[in-house]
Each structure stands twice: as C-alpha cells, then as structure tokens.
Structure 1
C-alpha cells in the first residue's frame, strides 16, 4: 500500500504541466489582470485613490500564487526534464515571487509594471499551451500549439538540409504531430529529435511582449521594440533547434559520457550529445541572448529600465539608476515611484 502511494505521489510530482497547472496559471494571470486594472482605475481617477492599496493586495496575492505555480513545476523541470537551468530558475522563482509580494504590499508601486508584464506574458503563452484543437461548423482547426510547432519544424528542417543532412520527418512520440526528425547513426541506431512547444522560442517572445506591453510609452516605440525582439528571438531559436538536431542526430558531442550520464541521471549513452547541446550549451547561451536582446529593446524603450532596476533590487537589495549610467536615448518615462501614494507613470 505504501509503495503504491509512493508511486502515485512520484507520478504527480514529476507530471508534465496538466489541466490543474494550466488552471492555476490562468488563475494567476487573471488575478494579475484584475489587480492591474484596479490600480489603473485608481491612478486615473475612475476609482477612489484608496483602491491602490486594494490593488496591492490583489497583485501581492497573485505573486504568492505564482510562487506556488513554480513550486509545483519544479520537480518536472529538475527531475523529469533533467533541465538543471530550468530547475534552478523554477526553485529560485518561489522565494523571489514571495519577496515581490512582500515589497509590493509594503508600497513599492513600481512593481505594478513587472506585474502587468507577467500578465501579458501569460496572455501570450497560455493560449498556445492550453487551447486544444477545435471543430466549428464542420471545419477542423488545429490548436495554436500544433500550428506553431509545425511552423518551427518546417523551418528547422530547411536549415538542417541546407547544412547537408537529410533526416526523415516522422510523427513525434510525445505529441503525434509530424514534428520529429529521425536520424540513423553509423551503427544503425535510430534517434528521434522532436520539436515541442519549448523548442519554439514562444517563452522568450512572451517575455518581451509582456514587458513591452506593460510599460507606458508611445505606441510607435513599443512597435519598434517588438520589431527588434520578435524576429531576433525567432531567428536565434531556429539556430538553436538546428544546432541541437544536427549535434544530437549525428552524435557530435559524445564527450565525458559517464560523467554526463551521471549528472543527468540517465543510462542511455546516445543522449549525451542531446544533454550537452540542449540542456547545457543552448540554455546557457539563451540566457546570454536574452540579455543582448534586452539591451537592444531598451535602446528603443528606456521605460523598461524600471523593471530591470526592480529586478536588480530584488537580487541585491540596493537601488539602481540605470538610465543615468547607460548610453541610452534621452526620451524616457520614469516608472511609478517606489513609495506609497506617489505616481509618475
């Protein structure tokens, strides 16, 4: 009996995002939106100014639920996916979200901008993660997730073939789409590289759409920021999927095999090239790329510095004035003041 209960608990902890986590994610996003709307109405006089305090409570509650969301997903990232980067980020996000909730409740109103950004990210990402295929009036429409994965698969396949490789396109075992590349090693072993939602760059795109949508700036500069971020992220992501596919499919990174297998808790030596190309090299370089894209976007939207300054404060507990220290355009709207009762947005 105890063994059966342990098996069930393990399955729950390691389960991929499911209906329960999807529902929690939507609840978090909707709570952020309610709090943001309440804060906006209070700041603009559509509600009594006292509702700003109520908005703080609502958004602080959203951050607490966001901490729970990352805590629930941590075992999946760390143990099921064996992604140390994502696992570390997920577990660090738990106390970070709770700290944001505390600071916001205490009156650091600039964090309303970051909160709006999280809501925007969710509105971009969750439809692809949670909306299934539908059939209306006798016509079947693919899920947004399937359409996006298919697009990335086709473009990745073009790049792989341009490099001189010709894997067979087959249905992936995880999703059942035509989204997997089948390679055959020199020894006749078959390897499948499947494109899933995490391979589309949607998460990074959602981050920048959320951030750009959250700040208060002229629409023209927001559109220029999006015109920089989205194509760059999309292109870099295709380079990433092509690199992983070619490296894994041809076993180009079969180094430190025993050490890598031990580190990722695997016994399959054919997975070494995948672990190193995807879980190590690509994920580390993705962080570097996000920093570079952020700098390019900030040059069009210095208003984003409010969010970056808040993030640095969360990490160091020190205030920063990045606008005064970086070579950026003069036009900039400073975010809301950090103390109760003031607003310069």
Structure 2
C-alpha cells in the first residue's frame, strides 16, 4: 500500500521541527528531543519504501528507505544512552539543512523561481549540444518526449545537505567559505549537467535497454526505458559519485568533520552495535590534529 504524500509530508516536517528543537535546546533535553525527531524521520522514509519502488521505480532510494527505520532507531537509542557529541553535530547539520530548504519547499513563489531558473539553464545546455528542445513552463520537450523539472531537479536537497555540514562545524570563516564554494555551487552546476544528460538521452532515445522489462515493471511506454536508465540508474550513480568526491573536498578543507564521521561510522560496526545493544558504552573517536 502506498501511503498518501500529504501524510508523509506532515511526518517529514514534524520530524524536522522536532530535530531543530533538539538542536537548540540545552543538552539535558536536546538529546532526547532530537532522538524522537530522528525516529519519526526514519519512520517517514521507511513508510515511503512502496512509493519509491512501485511509483518512482528508484532502486537506490528504495534501499535507503528500507534501512531508514532500523538505522534511525539504533542511532536514537545511542543518542539517548550516551549523549554522543557526533550525533548532536549530525542533528545540528540536519537542523541547518532544514532551515535552508524550508523556504523553497514552503513558499511556492520561491520554489517556482528556482525551478524556472533551472529549467532555463537546462534548456540552454540541452540546445547547446545541437538539440532542438523547447520549454513550456517547467516542462522541457525534445523530439516529442517531455521531462518535467520539479523542485527535486534543482539539487536543492543536496545543496541544503552541504549547507548543513558546513554550518554545523566550528572553524575559521575562510575555511568555511572555501568548503561552501567547493560544494554548493559545484552541486548546482553538476545538477544542470545531470538534467541535460537525462533530457538528451530520453529525447534522443539513447538508452533503449531491455524496454520490455521496464514496461512490465513500470507500466510506462517502451520509450520510457531511456529515461529510466538515464535518470534512475546512471544519473543516480553519477550523483552518488559526485557527492562522495565533493564530500572528500569538504573534509579536506574542514578536517574537523572527519572526527565526527569516524565516530558515527564506528557506531555501525558490528562489534560496536553489539556493545551498544548490551548497554555498554563505545569509546568515542579521538579528535584529529590539523596539520599547521
């Protein structure tokens, strides 16, 4: 059963407001409030699994949604049990990301403005490759095949993620600015490349691979196969690789983040999961010394 998006949106915003509250409250209360927010956040995405598998046909997001509930439950448990600093830093990053993203999602005029700008730039890029695409509103048409540019196509979520990462770290302003510049503007440019690739591949039917299988799974027309492989597989994989590379660049500029990342990853090691579930405390990762 696919749960209504309205209900899931209410859950998402409720979880983010609770996370923000947890980030600003004194630690005595903040850890418990933030943990509740993370549990609701994980539940929201876990309930979205049928949507991404049956409707969006997005394999990567489906896997992420399947893992969302057990991961957030576990991390929330550790957060309350040990009041672990790395998890509060993660909470602050999520809070800042939410505050950055909220205006674009809540104020229709602002979201539409960003969609319009992205559509215009994408259209120019598609036609710069020798295509003859047209746009009506936020719908780009190439060779009779239409692609709608929505808010998710603007990379606002990924940009918000890195705004949160940069914003939650205490470091000199010059390094914070450098980290921002190698992440947020670069993500937007790469996203235009991504949109251009998807529209060009779909409009020119470059990736008609196993169309019968795609039709059977999605119920779409055979021409959809090129969109599926370009958007749901290759573009998603490319985005993941880009985020890894950008993350490495940000960590190189802000090595303070690596301490928290190491600590969070230590929590999901099998031996440490067993220790935490037995009620034992796992030693926190030691801060790294920045080279002068």
Name the structure 1 match of 2:13. 26
1:117 equivalenced with 2:117 (yes/no): no
What does residue 25 of structure 2 align with? 38
Structure-2 residue corresponding to 1:203: 157
- Quick check: 108-117 or 310-319, which moved more? 310-319
2:179 corresponding residue in structure 1? 225
Hey, what does 2:65 align to over in structure 1? 90
Equivalent residue for 2:133? 167
Q: Is the CA contact 1:22–1:130 (under 8 Å) kept in the aligned structure 2? A: no
Q: Is this contact kept in 2: 1:305–1:322, CA < 8 A?
A: no
Match for residue 291 of structure 2?
330
How many Å apart are 1:260 and its aligned residue?
3.2
State the secondary structure of the residue aligned to 1:106: helix
Q: Is the 8 A contact 1:63 1:98 kept in 2?
A: yes
Rg comparison, structure with higher value: 1
CA 329–164 in structure 1, closer or farther in 2 if over 3 Å, else same: farther
Tell me the CA shift for residue 330 of structure 1: 2.0
Size of the alignment, in residue pairs?
280
Q: Give 1 or 2: higher helix fraction.
A: 2
Q: Which runs of 5+ in 1 are unaligned?
A: 1-9, 40-51, 133-142, 171-177, 185-189, 332-345
Coordinate RMSD, CA, aligned: 2.1
Alignment check: 8 A CA contact 1:148 1:200 kept: yes
Give TM-score scaled by structure 1 length. Answer: 0.76
Shift of 1:119: 1.2
- Distance of 2:11 and 2:25 partners within structure 1: 21
Q: 1:309 aligns with which of 242, 258, 262?
A: 262
**Residues 1-345 of structure 1 aligned to structure 2 (within 5 Å):** 10=1, 13-15=2-4, 17-18=5-6, 20-39=7-26, 52-107=27-82, 108-132=84-108, 143-170=109-136, 178-184=137-143, 190-262=144-216, 264-317=217-270, 329-330=290-291
1:129: Cα distance to partner?
2.0
Distance 1:279 1:153, change over 3 A: same
1:166 to partner: Cα distance: 1.1
Unmatched tracts of structure 2, length 5 or more: 273-282
Do the aligned residues in 2 keep the contact of 1:117 with 1:214 (CA within 8 Å)?
yes
